[in-house]
Amino acid sequence: MIRGGAFVVMLLLAAIGFAGYLLPAHSVDGGAWHSNFADGGPWSLVVFGVFGVLAAHLRTRGFGAGMLTGVLATAAAIASMVPVILVHLMSHVDNGPGEVMMAISVLGLFFGGIAFLIAEPVLYVTQRRAKERAQASN
C-alpha cells in the first residue's frame, strides 16, 4: 500500500511540474511575466512526460521498480531545472504561481525519489518477514 501510494505521489508531482512549467512563473529584472516554457523550451515538458509514462509503467512491476523510479525521479527533477536555471543564473527573478508549482514538483521529485530509492528495499524486507510469519501461523 505504501509503495503504491509513493508511485501515485510521483505521478502527481510530475503532473504538477508539467502544469507549473506552463503557467506564468516569473518576471526577470522587472520585465513581463512569463512561463518557464518561454525560457527553457519544451525540454522540461518532455522530461516530466517521459518520467510520468515510465513511472506509470513501472508501478505494475515487482521489486526494483520502485528503486528505478526513485532514480528516475531524482534525475527528472535535475534535468527539468537545468534549462531554467541556466537562463536565470545572473538575473533578479520575481516569482509567481508557476514557480511555486515547479518548486514543489522538483523538490518533491528530488527528495521523494531519494526516499523511494531507500524505502523500497526496507519495505520489501519488512513485508517479507511479515508474510512469512503469517504463513507460519496458518
Look at 96 and 60; give whichever has higher pLDDT: 60
The pTM (predicted TM-score) of the whole model is 0.76
Please report, for the chain, the start and end positions of each structural domain, with discontinuous segments joined by +. 2-137
Query: What does the pLDDT read at residue 58?
Result: 82
CATH of domain 2-137: 1.20.140
List, for residues 111-133, the tens digit of each pLDDT value: 988 888 888 888 778 877 777 77
Give the strands of the sheet with 33-35, arranged side by side. Answer: 33-35, 24-28, 93-95
Interatomic CA distance for residues 57 and 69, integer angstroms: 10
List, for residues 13-69, the tens digit of each pLDDT value: 899 888 888 887 777 777 778 777 777 788 888 998 999 898 888 888 777 778 888
